[in-house]
Amino acid sequence: MAYNEHSVAYDLDLFKDNTAKKIPEKQNTKDTENKVVKISEEDTYKIRRRKHNPFKIFVGSVSATIATVIIAAIIVGQAQLTELNQQIITAQETLENAKSTYTQLEMGNQSKLSTTEIEKYAETKLGMSKTENAQKEFVSLSQGDKAEISGDANLNFFQKIINAITGLWS
């Protein structure tokens, strides 16, 4: 689309406002120069000096103190927690070492209590030897096992009968 200077869409003169009245500029007069107020150095210092509210200072100090105490408590707590964790780690290492030593000692005891070690000790230190068939004695029992009850001699007639009957069955 070609640019048309006479196009209404691009006519910028329509937006100019020629009907507005011009405001005359004010002239500097001697009256405006006399209205300037001069303040002394002391008065400017007093004006510029910040006025501190004692209540705000107290609240700020208390808040800062509380924040400092809380932060210090957190730091001390973390330090104690770190120390306790280090003690736990040391105790666990000591426990693992003790378990390892216990296992080694237990294995040593088991090896000393094996039957071959006991036989060696009996042969070398005590001078013992294994039994041979010539050393064995066999015992034979021809009569079998019996049980005798020692009783009282002062038994009455009925007790003797009962004992005789029970003796038959045993």
User: Does 80 or 141 have the greater pLDDT score?
Assistant: 80
User: Does 50 or 158 have the greater pLDDT score?
Assistant: 158
Letter string b/e over residues 19-28, b meaning 16 or more CB atoms within 10 A of that residue's CB: eeeeeeeeee
Q: Is residue 30 over pLDDT 70?
A: no
State the pLDDT at residue 25. 62
Contacts of 117 (CB under 8 A, 6+ apart): 111
CA 122/CA 112 separation, integer angstroms = 13
Contacts of 47 (CB under 8 A, 6+ apart): 39
Tens digits of per-residue pLDDT, 78-123? 999 999 999 999 999 999 999 999 999 998 888 777 788 888 888 8
State the pLDDT at residue 99. 96
Element (H, E) at 100: helix 54-112
- Biggest alpha carbon distance in the chain? 166
3-state secondary structure of 10: coil
State the pLDDT at residue 78. 96
**If we measure between CA atoms, which residue out of 134, 108, 127 comes closest to residue 119?**
127
Mean pLDDT for the stretch of residues 136-145: 71
**What global pTM score does this model have?**
0.38
Task: State CA 125 to chain mean position distance.
Answer: 56
> Do 163 and 151 meet the contact criterion of CB atoms below 8 Å apart?
yes
- At 63, phi and psi to the nearest 5? -65, -45
